[in-house]
Structure 1
Amino acid sequence: MEEKKKTAREIIEGYDGPPVRIMEVCGTHTHEIFRLGIRKLLPEQVELISGPGCPVCVTQVGFIDEAIYLALERQVTICTFGDLVRVPGTNMSLAGAREKGAKIRIVYSPVDAKEYAKEHPKEQVTFLSVGFETTTPSACLSVKKAREEGLTNYSILTANKTMPQAYEALKGSADIFLYPGHVNAITGTKLCEELAKEGVSGVVAGFTAKELLTALAVALVRFQEGGPFFVNCYPRVVTDDGSPQAQKLVEEMMEPCDSEWRGLGVIKGSGMRLREEWSAFDARKKYKIPPIQGKANPACRCGDVLQGKCKPSDCKVFGKVCTPQHPIGACMVSGEGACSAYYMYGEAEEMK
């Protein structure tokens, strides 16, 4: 009689292999795994740790300070995604700047910011371009359309980052990477395959309960077999080549640069900035922003959380001084932040 195949849940719950640390690179994975109750299925020897996959969380304090400089000193209208508004800068957040009279508008896409600039020709408008490979193409598209439409009052302040160098910097911090499906939908799987050859194991995961359970089950089975591996567990969205069209757009308009990551420091070649031929839309050049070195609150351990060195609940200010209503660090602000996930879903679990 043929043996019945185990479900992904049964594989996870029945795992009896060696201890394993799996890094949720993507903040959305962290939230969904908590929300869906998947952590409760894991045996004791399986540990999930957070990584640097929340773009708002890894954005350096100095970037917030630059945006505040534009808003208060240069009277530029700032268009931004909502999560960034309450991220602390050195002295205040964008919400604090708004209380001082700055024009801060929440938009849902870079194209919305470009449209606002078009509709308000007397205002100088800057979009805060924060994100990984997933959102960078849309920022480029907004600039391209602004040039086509002859807009001279639109620019972007870039904090765009790419994941490959971060994976290299995090080697050894986890046994398995749970790769973000939406990033790989753009980049493809070549990098992950190359990392496996270098000894770094990982699986690409989707975002539904079934997709996450499948990815974790595959990861545990392959880990127990021994040897580095890579598996694409999100084939309905992620292909080998990713999105050549999006890759081409970014390559034409942007170039790599060194970039500071909260917690990881400056990672060479991990940032993206507009090429010289698009410099009229580069807010740093357009407004001659002076060098600004931001300073994070020393009580905040976001940097350690983003490297998987500690859990949010290990931070002394977590849930006490630092809450979603009064955040000290970016990881408590963002909808993809590990601290906000632990606060919303994980306090009871961590205290048992």
Structure 2
Amino acid sequence: MSATEEAKQLLSDYDGPAIHIMEVCGTHTHEIFKDGIRQLLSPKINLISGPGCPVCVTPADFIDEAVMLALEKNCTITTFGDLVRVPGSEKSLADARAGGAKVKVVYAPSDAVDYAKKHPDEDVVFLSVGFETTVPSECLTVQQAVEQGIKNFSLLTANKTMPGAYLAMREATDAFLYPGHVHAIIGTSLCEKLRDEYGISGVCAGFTPSELLIALALEVRGLSKGKPFFINAYPRVVTHEGSPKAVELIHKYLKPVDAVWRGIGEIKGSGLALRDEYADFDARKKYSLPHITGRDNPACRCGEVLQGRCTSKDCPLFGKACTPEHPAGACMVSSEGACSAYYLYGRGF
């Protein structure tokens, strides 16, 4: 019997105490649904979709800031496509674009700085949203702008880092399914520290069906032993040291700041902002943005979904007033969002 078949059997036959595993990564959530892995699991194994989608945990006030830059400061907003339809307090960027604002979808951060270079008469802002995986490429845009003397480019940052989120969510789960791409950057030393200092267990997983099945089986085996554990089940990509050059790049351009996560609240030191020496590329400072307190749709339960306090199906808007075509919340908008995954693959659960 192959390792994958053994994992399937263990996961389907498990009959011990109920266990809860949080897949932190939105890509893991989608792949687990799409690959039919949830259907294989024993009823005693409960998967929780956590705050691992950067678009989903970005609060409404960030969208409000972007809308203000577009409509009141006449900036050209460059962004990945998911953010365009995320609701702000009153408007999304799609609404702003319909009102005449310039909102351009790009496929890489470098596209945004290239656009700024080709359009020197426009003030171009890139919406820098993401975890450790994408942050280095966003830092490179500042490096490129500095080297090429591009003055009409800046970042509106909402980048976040995972260590604080793991600590904030540790009471919601028995173990984490750690995101392989994040730990390819930051390495596994953090996971070992969480195990040794806080008793937090987890497995670092890849993204293929086989890798996910084996990682989940390792979670079940580890939890059955009753002691904190960490296993790197993605060693072909993730190493103990991660990518020192990428981490060095992040530290060169960005500094830790407190950050608000949708549904979770403020997590100390979990955000990243441009260092003072790069203030000319900080859109908040460059355009003197006021402090904004955003408001979410009170009927939307995205915040509770991100905390693992409910599933998408528990939200009264899900599949009715909130669909991928007409989303009411960020978790339905994002291609990595839990509500999107439930809608596409999991409505039979």
Coarse TM-score class (shorter-chain normalised)? over 0.9
What is the TM-score of this pair, normalised by structure 1? 0.97
The answer to whether structure 1 residue 98 and structure 2 residue 92 are counterparts is no
> Match of 1:288, as an amino acid?
S
Once residues 144 and 236 of structure 1 are traced to their aligned partners in structure 2, the CA distance between those partners, rounded to angstroms, is 30
The answer to whether structure 1 residue 171 and structure 2 residue 187 are counterparts is no
Once residues 19 and 167 of structure 2 are traced to their aligned partners in structure 1, the CA distance between those partners, rounded to angstroms, is 19
Once residues 108 and 14 of structure 2 are traced to their aligned partners in structure 1, the CA distance between those partners, rounded to angstroms, is 42
Once residues 14 and 242 of structure 2 are traced to their aligned partners in structure 1, the CA distance between those partners, rounded to angstroms, is 32
Per-residue deviation, 1:4: 9.1
The answer to whether structure 1 residue 315 and structure 2 residue 315 are counterparts is yes
Once residues 151 and 43 of structure 1 are traced to their aligned partners in structure 2, the CA distance between those partners, rounded to angstroms, is 56
> Match of 2:19, as an amino acid?
V
Once residues 171 and 43 of structure 1 are traced to their aligned partners in structure 2, the CA distance between those partners, rounded to angstroms, is 23
Once residues 30 and 179 of structure 2 are traced to their aligned partners in structure 1, the CA distance between those partners, rounded to angstroms, is 13
**Map of 1:304 onto structure 2:** 304
Once residues 168 and 129 of structure 2 are traced to their aligned partners in structure 1, the CA distance between those partners, rounded to angstroms, is 20
Unaligned runs of 5+ in 1: none
Once residues 196 and 252 of structure 1 are traced to their aligned partners in structure 2, the CA distance between those partners, rounded to angstroms, is 29
Within a 5 Å distance, the mapping from 1:102-251 to structure 2 comes to: 102-197=101-196, 198-251=198-251
Within a 5 Å distance, the mapping from 1:241-320 to structure 2 comes to: 241-320=241-320
Once residues 201 and 171 of structure 2 are traced to their aligned partners in structure 1, the CA distance between those partners, rounded to angstroms, is 10
**What secondary structure, in the 3-state scheme, does the structure 2 residue paired with 1:268 have?**
strand
Per-residue deviation, 1:222: 1.1
Deviation per residue, 1:116-157 (Å, 9 max, x gap): 001111111000000000011111000111010000000000
| Structure 1 stretches of 4+ moved >6 Å | 3-6
Once residues 12 and 327 of structure 2 are traced to their aligned partners in structure 1, the CA distance between those partners, rounded to angstroms, is 35
Deviation per residue, 1:269-325 (Å, 9 max, x gap): 100000000110000000000111110000010000000000000011111111111
Once residues 182 and 55 of structure 2 are traced to their aligned partners in structure 1, the CA distance between those partners, rounded to angstroms, is 15
**Map of 2:85 onto structure 1:** 86
Once residues 103 and 169 of structure 1 are traced to their aligned partners in structure 2, the CA distance between those partners, rounded to angstroms, is 37
Deviation per residue, 1:86-109 (Å, 9 max, x gap): 000001100000000000000011
* Structure 1 residues 17 and 240, CA gap change in structure 2 (3 angstroms): same
Deviation per residue, 1:168-225 (Å, 9 max, x gap): 1112110010000000000000111111111111000100011101100111111111
Within a 5 Å distance, the mapping from 1:71-82 to structure 2 comes to: 71-82=70-81
Once residues 128 and 35 of structure 1 are traced to their aligned partners in structure 2, the CA distance between those partners, rounded to angstroms, is 29
Deviation per residue, 1:55-94 (Å, 9 max, x gap): 0000010000000000000110000000000000001100
Once residues 7 and 115 of structure 1 are traced to their aligned partners in structure 2, the CA distance between those partners, rounded to angstroms, is 50
**What secondary structure, in the 3-state scheme, does the structure 1 residue paired with 2:158 have?**
strand
Per-residue deviation, 1:16: 2.0
> Match of 2:299, as an amino acid?
A
What is the TM-score of this pair, normalised by structure 2? 0.98
Unaligned runs of 5+ in 2: none
The answer to whether structure 1 residue 334 and structure 2 residue 334 are counterparts is yes
CA RMSD for the aligned pairs?
1.1
Once residues 138 and 293 of structure 1 are traced to their aligned partners in structure 2, the CA distance between those partners, rounded to angstroms, is 29
